[in-house]
Structure 1
């Protein structure tokens, strides 16, 4: 499994409620994406930095999403260049499902 963290700057700070509305506007586009297990939208404490923490099946599936088209969407919607950082995640503890999942 792979974790990808995306990050970008907003032109001005927003409230958590404003962030929620923005995030809800794009959330449906991530439903059913091949290889995406979960996405967490995040708002940094500075209230100007936003992004996502994604759990992917593989890096190839993640990279298939973070294309130039995706970067252009972020630039157009939020006015800044996004960054993507990847991490290997060989073990996941899911306390909601009561499972420990590992790469096979």
Structure 2
């Protein structure tokens, strides 16, 4: 499993409600993205700093979605250039289903 962390800083703080509305418009894209297992949207309204956490079934799936076109589109829509970091996911603790999972390297 591969994790991806995407960080960005908006040109100025955006109200949480406005950002949540914008993010809501992207849900269908992520629900149908091949190999994407989950995505978490995070935002600090006081600093304009955003972070998204993704989990993918493979590095190929992660790179296919978070490609240069994604980065360009994000920058155009949000006015901020995203930084992307890929990492090997070793273990996930999921208290919502009382589960601990370990993963082999891709």
Q: C-alpha separation between the residues in 2 aligned to 1:11 and 1:64?
A: 27
Q: Which residue of 2 aligns with 1:24?
A: 24
Q: C-alpha separation between the residues in 1 aligned to 2:30 and 2:69?
A: 15
1:44 Cα deviation from its structure 2 partner: 2.7
Relative to the length of structure 2, the TM-score reads 0.86
- Runs (4+) of structure 1 exceeding 4 A deviation are none
Partner-residue secondary structure (3-state), 1:17:
helix
Alignment: residue pair count: 104
Q: Which runs of 5+ in 1 are unaligned?
A: none
Relative to the length of structure 1, the TM-score reads 0.88
**Structure 1 vs Structure 2 CA RMSD:** 1.5
Q: C-alpha separation between the residues in 2 aligned to 1:6 and 1:78?
A: 13
Q: Which runs of 5+ in 2 are unaligned?
A: none
Q: Which residue of 2 aligns with 1:13?
A: 13
